[in-house]
A and B are shown apart, each in its own frame.
Chain A
Amino acid sequence: AQTVTQSQPEMSVQEAETVTLSCTYDTSESNYYLFWYKQPPSRQMILVIRQEAYKQQNATENRFSVNFQKAAKSFSLKISDSQLGDTAMYFCALRSPSGTYKYIFGTGTRLKVLA
């Protein structure tokens, strides 16, 4: 069975600082897709960044980057220059092409950016 684990229920960071959110997963597939989603308070869940497992290069989207360690099955999210608008729940998710319509989510990490 596929699983996604986020071991940090809550985190806080000072504005302009850098924070890393952890995610580990388990799958028997060799190819799959990993995602980080952001859910601001009372707002829509949106995609932050995605990674294709067959690509060794870590994905980057502006201030957001990932550290993808395929052998360790680790997919952490780094947020640089944290902003107050980054305050949100962050969910790590896994999708396998063989389970085309099935996404496995972690329990989320609540991040608070402090002024």
Chain B
Amino acid sequence: ETGVTQTPRHLVMGMTNKKSLKCEQHLGHNAMYWYKQSAKKPLELMFVYNFKEQTENNSVPSRFSPECPNSSHLFLHLHTLQPEDSALYLCASSQARRSNTGELFFGEGSRLTVL
């Protein structure tokens, strides 16, 4: 497989459930990201990991818990979510350095519905 792969593509969960989103990149990039995409809003950066170290936590509620065991894998653990958390969750990776453009490569997203 190439690029950035996200699983599952669709997830429906109740507010008391615990589930996880998974992301894997096969591009050899050093940085991985979680974004939340809601209708008519800019992409919201949630978390950034650089070489497994979290470098950004954009004031995300604790019911979202990221995990980055290595540079190729990123998880988003979900628990006691709210209906307003329903959205498309996008994973991305990049080889971002000051000296290059470091564009993002995105996965197809995980569509989350919280009942």
How far in angstroms is the closest Cβ of chain A from B47?
10
Q: How many residues belonging to A are interface residues under a CB distance threshold of 8 Å?
A: 26
How far in angstroms is the closest Cβ of chain A from B74?
13
Chain B binding surface, main DSSP class: loop
Count A-B contacts at CB 8 Å.
58
A11 within 8 A of B: no
Which residues from chain A contact B98 at a C-beta distance below 8 Å?
Answer: 97-98, 100
B48 nearest CB neighbor, chain A only = A101
Chain A contact residues, CB within 8 Å of chain B: 4, 9, 33, 35, 37, 43-47, 50, 52, 91, 93, 95, 97-98, 100-108
> Besides the contacts A9-B40, A93-B104, A95-B102, what 9 more A-B pairs have beta carbons closer than 8 Å?
A35-B101, A35-B103, A47-B103, A47-B104, A101-B48, A101-B56, A103-B104, A105-B43, A107-B41
